[in-house]
A = this chain, B = another copy of it.
């Protein structure tokens, strides 16, 4: 059984199944995951302590004390950290220190939980009389969802039931209260419990959780939140503007929209509901065609943390919340499993390497809540203490850091999938050195991706007596590649986005794929007004950016231009920003004739040196 999220049931109609085992053992992501394991996760409890989250749990356990924090969903930071730590424990079961921290926080949650299963310290401490009374803003089911996800991760990773018991008790309470013919016919202002309930169904086999998830998904968009809706933000903020099956566009609060669509996809997979599947496919296409940043970032507006209008994609005011990038990866991965189509993993890749990874500093200890594609020289940052273009040790609203931790900790499970039956095989969606087991076989991958384009896959195990299909995704950005198979044949792209080789494999067989990692200048979609007249530098899956600190002195950053026939070059600099491939380009300064040598670093690594201007989209003139 796979130790990762999205453990599809046998009944799921998905085209692909998640890998039964996945381990990243070296290379780019191993390094980022090492920092996650050694810095980010270990210091989580201290951050939660100083932000008051743990004090809230202790106070709730004794039934008195004041609530600390600005938001009712404060507990969810604890839940997300526990999920991250649990996935990490699956990787390193011998980490007794981490296991002790997990046990301690689990104990705090169990102690804080009320006799009837309720658990949310904000309402327990500050407003016990308002339990279930403020569904729009209260986040009670949202917190329940994160608790369930943490509990499922903990159970999968350790086999222990302590946290799962807590989560199930809460879920039983929720199920007893919410329903068309129960005490409350209502939904939560922030989707999240829906996808969590599907996962709880997967973990426990209890169909009631799947049905409850379906109820929450389909009761949304019927005005049940009207009493709570702040007219200033509008119903779309709460994803209550339309029944999701009728939606034609992703809109409103980005993370709410994406968590909801993850649940829609989960339900489509587990119930075979074709209308839900069509909904998810339609909305994903709409999102990618007109509401997605080059970095994979989502959410064009600070106000309402929202998707904007189609083609409203300002680089400077990009919200592109780190959590939205994570939610997008979670949703797209579900879509990849459901449909088997490579385009979903193309977006996962773009988001992972750019819009997501920028959210955490190279030190693993400094964060960005919003991920703009441009910061001007004159940056004032007068507003939004949490939402600046400067890395911050923690946030007042600390949703993003533990969200990053849980994604990095579970990342290996987003990289490969398998199929059984007639088309048995293993699919590599993303390239990271490691070992992946799926579809009845196991492969070892070695690669220096994303710096180099070679991916060497060695068969460790495959059916001895049957053909078996090895599939490697050909990224959409890649216009040229070569591949060499064991028998010297060069397999070609056999399905859009997939290089497939079906044959009898023996352990030790290798398939080597060489993706041409051209450095390229990307022109924007002409309908994206905000970056008209600009180009962006990309190399492989990486979006690059200019940071002021790397540019020649004596030239005003805001005057730099890059003609779209500029000469480009790339070189790897192991000493820079933890080791990055740098792109240099023959730029200009507005009004000047001389070449100005520009240096572009990967976007994910920006804002790790002294604060300064940055831009992904560079004016052509």
Give the B-binding residues of A (Cβ under 8 A). 70, 231-234, 236-237, 241, 249, 251-252, 290, 301-304, 306, 308-312, 314-317, 374, 376, 378-386, 396, 526-527, 529-534, 558, 590, 617, 619
Evaluate contact between B590 and A234: CB separation under 8 angstroms.
Answer: no
Nearest neighbor of A248 in chain B, beta-carbon distance? B380
Which 9 residue pairs across A and B have the least CB separation, nearest first?
Answer: A533-B533, A303-B303, A532-B533, A310-B378, A236-B382, A302-B303, A251-B382, A234-B383, A530-B530
Within the complex, the shortest CB–CB distance from A338 to chain B, in Å, comes to 27
Evaluate contact between A378 and B290: CB separation under 8 angstroms.
Answer: yes
Evaluate contact between B526 and A590: CB separation under 8 angstroms.
Answer: yes
Interface of A is mostly: loop
Evaluate contact between B234 and A382: CB separation under 8 angstroms.
Answer: yes
- Say yes or no: A233-B314 contact (C-beta < 8 A), given A376-B309, A530-B530, A590-B526: no
Evaluate contact between A317 and B301: CB separation under 8 angstroms.
Answer: yes
- Say yes or no: A380-B249 contact (C-beta < 8 A), given A231-B385, A317-B308, A317-B314: yes
Which of B252, B309, B315, B376 interacts with A310 by CB under 8 Å?
B376
How far, in angstroms, from A304 to B374 measured CA to CA in the complex?
Answer: 20
24 residue pairs A–B, Cβ–Cβ below 8 Å = A231-B385, A232-B384, A234-B383, A236-B382, A236-B383, A241-B382, A251-B380, A306-B383, A308-B317, A309-B376, A309-B380, A309-B381, A310-B378, A311-B378, A312-B317, A312-B376, A314-B314, A314-B530, A316-B529, A526-B619, A529-B619, A532-B532, A532-B533, A533-B533
Nearest neighbor of A384 in chain B, beta-carbon distance? B234
How far, in angstroms, from A526 to B589 measured CA to CA in the complex?
Answer: 12
What 10 additional pairs, Cβ within 8 angstroms, besides A251-B380, A303-B303, A532-B534? A232-B386, A233-B384, A234-B385, A251-B382, A304-B383, A306-B383, A526-B590, A529-B530, A529-B531, A532-B533
Which of B249, B252, B311, B316 interacts with A383 by CB under 8 Å?
B252
Within the complex, the shortest CB–CB distance from A243 to chain B, in Å, comes to 15
Number of copies: 2
How far, in angstroms, from A374 to B530 measured CA to CA in the complex?
Answer: 12
Nearest neighbor of A556 in chain B, beta-carbon distance? B527
How far, in angstroms, from A321 to B425 measured CA to CA in the complex?
Answer: 59
Residues of B with C-beta under 8 A to A526: 590, 619
- Say yes or no: A315-B383 contact (C-beta < 8 A), given A231-B70, A290-B378, A378-B310: no
How far, in angstroms, from A381 to B376 measured CA to CA in the complex?
Answer: 29
Evaluate contact between A316 and B306: CB separation under 8 angstroms.
Answer: no
- Say yes or no: A311-B384 contact (C-beta < 8 A), given A231-B396, A532-B534, A558-B527: no
Residues of B with C-beta under 8 A to A383: 233-234, 236-237, 252, 303-304, 306
Residues of B with C-beta under 8 A to A232: 384-386
Nearest neighbor of A315 in chain B, beta-carbon distance? B529
Residues of B with C-beta under 8 A to A617: 529
How far, in angstroms, from A301 to B384 measured CA to CA in the complex?
Answer: 12
- Say yes or no: A529-B308 contact (C-beta < 8 A), given A70-B231, A252-B383: no
How far, in angstroms, from A433 to B619 measured CA to CA in the complex?
Answer: 46
Residues of B with C-beta under 8 A to A311: 376, 378, 558
Residues of B with C-beta under 8 A to A301: 302-303, 317
Within the complex, the shortest CB–CB distance from A389 to chain B, in Å, comes to 10
**Most chain B Cβ neighbours within 10 Å, of A70, A290, A308, A617:** A308
Residues of B with C-beta under 8 A to A234: 382-385
Nearest neighbor of A316 in chain B, beta-carbon distance? B312
Within the complex, the shortest CB–CB distance from A499 to chain B, in Å, comes to 34
Residues of B with C-beta under 8 A to A531: 529
Residues of B with C-beta under 8 A to A252: 382-383
Residues of B with C-beta under 8 A to A312: 316-317, 376
How far, in angstroms, from A381 to B234 measured CA to CA in the complex?
Answer: 10
- Say yes or no: A532-B619 contact (C-beta < 8 A), given A314-B317, A384-B232: yes
Nearest neighbor of A533 in chain B, beta-carbon distance? B533
Residues of B with C-beta under 8 A to A314: 314, 317, 530
Within the complex, the shortest CB–CB distance from A517 to chain B, in Å, comes to 29
Within the complex, the shortest CB–CB distance from A44 to chain B, in Å, comes to 23
Within the complex, the shortest CB–CB distance from A321 to chain B, in Å, comes to 14
Residues of B with C-beta under 8 A to A306: 382-383
How far, in angstroms, from A378 to B396 measured CA to CA in the complex?
Answer: 36
Within the complex, the shortest CB–CB distance from A307 to chain B, in Å, comes to 8
Nearest neighbor of A312 in chain B, beta-carbon distance? B316
Evaluate contact between A378 and B231: CB separation under 8 angstroms.
Answer: no
Residues of B with C-beta under 8 A to A385: 231-232, 234
Within the complex, the shortest CB–CB distance from A334 to chain B, in Å, comes to 24
How far, in angstroms, from A308 to B381 measured CA to CA in the complex?
Answer: 9
How far, in angstroms, from A384 to B308 measured CA to CA in the complex?
Answer: 12
Within the complex, the shortest CB–CB distance from A251 to chain B, in Å, comes to 5
Within the complex, the shortest CB–CB distance from A135 to chain B, in Å, comes to 20
How far, in angstroms, from A617 to B385 measured CA to CA in the complex?
Answer: 32
Nearest neighbor of A591 in chain B, beta-carbon distance? B526
How far, in angstroms, from A236 to B385 measured CA to CA in the complex?
Answer: 11
How far, in angstroms, from A245 to B241 measured CA to CA in the complex?
Answer: 46
How far, in angstroms, from A204 to B559 measured CA to CA in the complex?
Answer: 54
Within the complex, the shortest CB–CB distance from A27 to chain B, in Å, comes to 36
Residues of B with C-beta under 8 A to A233: 383-384
Nearest neighbor of A530 in chain B, beta-carbon distance? B530
